[in-house]
Chain A
Amino acid sequence: MPGVSSDSARGALVPLSPESPGAVVYPLRHGLKSPISRLSISWSRGNSLRVSVFAAPSSDGSVNDGDGGKVVEVKLGGGDGEISEAHWRRIAYGSVSPFALLQSRKNAVSTLSKMSMNSSPYDGDWWDYIMEYSKDINALLVNQKSASVPVLDDTKSVITKGEEPTSLKAAWELLEMFYAEKPSHSWLPERLVDWLADYDSLFSGTHPTVHSKLVDFQKEFVNLQVVEDDPKYWEVMSSALAVGWLNIVVKMLRLHGSYQLDQLSNRETENGLVEAVAVLISKMPRMRLEQEAGKLGECYKAKPDFVKAWEKWRGQINKLDSSAFWFQCAHQQTREGLRSMLQIMLGNANSLCSATYNWIELYISHFLYMRPLTVGLESMYSLAQKSIQLKPMASAHRLMGLIIGILGENTEVVLAECLKGFGPWMVAHAIELLTAGSDHAEMLLHEERQNLGGISIEELHRLVYAQVLSSFPLTWQIAPIYLISCMKHGMILLQILLSKQPVQDNQLLLKSIEICRLYELHSVTSNIMKIAGVHHWKHGRKGSGVFWLQQARDEYRLNRIALQLFDSVGKTISDESFKQWEGLIQLLGSDSKTAGGLEFLHKYRDFKKSLRQIHDGKATDPARQAVESLISLMKNPSTPQRFWLPLLYDSLKLLNWKERPLLNVSQTNLLLNKLQELSMARLRPDFIESELPPQALNSVRLALGTNLGRAILEE
């Protein structure tokens, strides 16, 4: 057995091959004491492996604790860590509706554009649709963890914690701002500034960041008596200023000791300088559409207005920088700290570089203070390259790779980064944004490729995502939404998915059938029903089995199980067990098309019923009904031959009816013929003898003969 290493008794299951030096061995605790004889590994749900470990039977034949086998589920990969499985499922559920809505709108738009011969189908409402989709998805990514409230009292807390940010949401917002927002790229730099303000903390795990420095400082802050003496105070403020967190900087500046009432008189100049800087910061001109209420900075929509304000603002900074008041400022740290902040505001490259901790922060500071008018992805990309050169990093955060891909306008890189960093859900949903406005991306992602088996990249990623959904018992039901959006392979994979679903439980079975009904997969429906029918039948639930086979209109299997039923009928349809059969017979209905060979049971029931009513041998009307039932049973080709004799034997009472013969000549002849046929059949080897007294055949023959004579006489 190749899968079992020699020391299997200690629980190691993996053979080590010398060619793979990077292999890591994880011990698997299966708890079996005896040596392992057999091992079976199969996929379980999701990315779990099911390892079945079979112990060797003990040699002396004794049964010990820990014999037999164990099934261990091994989960591969620890998942995202940032987002729990339950949260992933919630995202998956929530993205179904936006995705389906967008697909139907896309279809509507494309049919409309075909009709009107419009060259560009993506006009008018199109961008609204895309934006709505993006916003709906974005809303799902909000972290459900409750935000921790800062312990510090409000005046001293410089950083307020909102919801815990996630990389997934950060990535989606990047895609949204670059692809979904109606292209107006002149606002992009400022959008990136806001984005970093929200998500800078995400980089703290792997890189030093302004955010982590602020958090560190805040911890020390509580114990500081004179903040302005601490060089960190100035350092942190410069950093925050460099990435444009104006509110935080102004708030920190106003914590400067010179504002305290008892010091105001002898530190008047110093305080004036601090306040002047604070005012300049809060008046910083920003070129953006709108400003959130309460945020500092003055916002300009038109470029000429902005440029005018920008020049004026820089003039004021220069004027302050060269002012004579600095010589009157006695506090050295304040003087140096404030002047270095002025350098940042003036866009001094060295100051910006030393105030920021990674290339994204440096990049953002360049947008803010050096090149606020940067427009176009090309120049944004070259600026990013320059920042990376200035602040190279050993390892790149997954968001950084994504940003580079987006700025480099390389759709393949963006997709690869999405897949690598955020998994199949991200790719399947991000493609909608990537193709929204770019003909190039659309061609690239929709082109059918030979190396992918004739499907497009878009379809490939949808199929991959659907496959992931299918492997979990709670999410497989939403996989069809994605599969049907795949033109080439979607339908066939959907059929396979539905055919693989378990049939044991009615509720799950009906959910599968409902999906079949929605997509008009009638053949799959009937297959599932057949499987369910046979399953129930095999497990002794005859009623359920018959029902499902009837629903599937499976004549063949109904006839087969009819034969089995007849065996038990012969034995058990006694008066006592009649109630049990009643329900099944009722289920069969009188519609012979769906009942198959079981139609016989129905008539047999009627016959038995009327027979029971004439036990006293006097009631003629029920007796006549019984005769009618008997004749129709004997005439019907679906009545199995082996029931002929028991039926006739049961009817002896009718054949020997005292008052008058109940059967006429032709009826008696029919029965005699059947009896003759039966005698011939008995000679064949495959004949099944009924459990009747040996003289049964003769007594029936005698009774029929007598009846024939009486009938002839009567006629």
Chain B
Amino acid sequence: MAFAESQNPLRVHRIPQSRYIDAVRWLSPVSPSDRFAAIAYFDADTNSPSIEIAYVDPNPQSSSPTLTPQSSWTSPSRISSLKTAHSTPQPLLAAATFSGSLHILASDLINGGVMESEATVSELGFHSGPVSAVDLREGGTECVSVGEDGRVNLVCFVGDSSKLSYRRIFDANGLVGYTAVKWASPSEFATGGYGFGIQWWDQRTSGGPVLQFKGNWCQGKTSGIVHSIDIHPSRKHTCLAGGSSGTVFAWDRRAAQQPIVLSGAGTGEAPNSLLSESEVWEVQYDRYTRRSNISNISSTRILPVMICSEDGILAVIEQGEEPLELLAEPCAINSFDIDQQNPSNVICSLEWESLAILTRS
């Protein structure tokens, strides 16, 4: 296994937070030098969940980054999923909760990061039980939410009505549970769930997923749950998924039912050494690359992927190469986010109530 330190300089700063972190995301900055992060906290002492916008000063005099809280929003329940939309002038946040509600928040980064709740869906019947994942459409006004109750909802927030309207795309009545979701295009999205299954949806086609990727490809071996999905804007035919038993795989919709296993359990023909054997909580395409142009990479090849795992690994996986380990923590890394504008910056939340900020150079 390759270690990042030996190849390229990497600065890591751990910042204790004294509160559990349920999710963390970068916000798209107003100016190139600014950096803001949205952090979903859970204060165990007072039992209060909240989302805070913090200004991240990458290099103050003390040479380690500092977080300056800008504004805070109290959530009615713990945050189960947090996503941000990058291309709007005022960054939008979509926060889903364990009590089954969805909140759209807007943050005004120019005026001190004030955060306001734009709209809320919390009525009974939206989801029964927790919302397991949400995704905001990039620059759009739509948000898709899924839950283990088998419901797939599309929430539109046009105008400034504080009550959101939502449309039920599908209800599997609990026969199928969904644990991850990601937009692929303005009308298509992918969901993931139990048994390493992935579903492809098109909101123009009603009555269920248009394409299903069967999860039983790792038959006989342990099956698992998809925790996170990512789709690269230039490679919409490929769904990247991470889940149980250190599994990271890609499903090329053109190649039917055979997954491309990047790491972990499965076909056993993965050339690389096992990176992690525990849950892969999040996967994202890693846009930070030294190669000049990703279009040089053949379209059948999977682009570099960053993962974080329950056993404390943050790593970059490239197909057919040794994985590059960025962090090996003694506790779980529950979520991370790569800065879209400046992909050398990564923020991740650690199980032991702290954040880590990585700067690659």
Contacts and interface: CB of A to CB of B under 8 A. Distances in A.
Interface of A: 84-87, 89-90, 93, 96-97, 144, 472-474, 477, 505-507, 510-511, 514, 517, 536, 539-544, 547, 550-551, 576, 579-584, 586-587, 589-591
Given A541-B129, A541-B149, A584-B175, A517 B199 contact: no
B128 A582 contact: no
Interface string B210-254: 001011100110110100000000000000000010000000000
A540 B44 contact: no
Nearest to B196: A587
Nearest to B20: A474
Given A586-B216, A590-B216, A541 B150 contact: yes
A384 to B, nearest CB: 38
Contacts of A543: 148, 150, 172, 174-177, 193-194
B283 to A, nearest CB: 16
Nearest to A510: B279
Given A550-B223, A583-B199, A590-B216, A86 B353 contact: yes
Interface in B293-329: 310-311
Given A544-B194, A591-B220, A93 B353 contact: yes
Contacts, number: 132
Contact of B352 (A85, A93, A551, A586): A93
Given A86-B19, A93-B331, A541 B174 contact: yes
A506 B175 contact: no
Nearest to B147: A541
Nearest to B78: A505
B176 A583 contact: yes
A85 B44 CA distance: 10
Nearest to A537: B174
B12 to A, nearest CB: 16
B98 interface: yes
Given A89-B18, A586-B212, 14 more contacts: A89-B353, A93-B353, A96-B331, A97-B330, A144-B16, A506-B148, A507-B281, A541-B150, A543-B172, A579-B208, A580-B208, A582-B212, A583-B212, A584-B172
Contact of B194 (A85, A540, A547): A547
A485 to B, nearest CB: 16
Secondary structure of the B contact surface, majority rule: loop
6 contacts: A506-B132, A550-B223, A579-B172, A582-B208, A583-B172, A591-B219
B179 interface: yes
Nearest to A87: B18
B177 A589 contact: no
Contacts of B108: none
Contact of B150 (A477, A550, A580): A580
Given A93-B331, A543-B176, A543-B177, A586 B310 contact: no
Interface in B143-185: 148-150, 170-177, 179
B150 A586 contact: no
Nearest to A85: B45
Nearest to B330: A97
B195 A506 contact: no
A76 to B, nearest CB: 15
B138 to A, nearest CB: 26
Nearest to A472: B44
A472 B47 CA distance: 12
Contacts of A84: 18
A14 to B, nearest CB: 25
Contacts of B20: 474
Nearest to A548: B194
Contact of A511 (B98, B244, B310, B353): B310
Nearest to B132: A506
Q: In the complex, which of the residues B174, B199, B310 has the most CB atoms of chain A within 10 Å of its own CB atom?
A: B174
B330 A587 contact: no
A477 B20 CA distance: 13
Contacts of A144: 16
Nearest to B44: A474
Interface string B113-141: 00000000000000011101000000000
A15 B277 CA distance: 55
B332 interface: yes
B278 interface: yes
Contact of B351 (A477, A505, A580, A590): A477
A586 B214 contact: yes
B207 interface: yes
A540 B174 contact: yes
A584 B45 contact: no
Contacts of A581: 175
B91 interface: no
B18 A90 contact: yes
Contact of B176 (A85, A540, A587): A587
B49 interface: no
Nearest to B173: A580
A536 B332 contact: no
B190 to A, nearest CB: 14
Contacts of A544: 148, 174, 177, 194
A510 B129 CA distance: 18
A97 B328 CA distance: 13
B100 interface: no
Nearest to B171: A580
B332 to A, nearest CB: 7
Contact of B197 (A510, A539, A576, A583): A583
Contacts of B16: 90, 144
A569 to B, nearest CB: 10
Closest 3 CB pairs of A and B: A583-B176, A579-B208, A86-B18
Given A541-B150, A582-B208, A589-B195, A510 B310 contact: yes
Contact of B353 (A474, A547, A579, A587): A474
A96 to B, nearest CB: 6
B275 to A, nearest CB: 15
Contacts of B334: 507
Given A93-B352, A541-B148, A541-B149, A580 B176 contact: yes
Given A542-B175, A543-B174, A551-B223, A586 B197 contact: yes
A511 to B, nearest CB: 7
B176 A584 contact: yes
Nearest to A92: B352
A514 B353 contact: no
A580 B176 CA distance: 7
A85 to B, nearest CB: 6
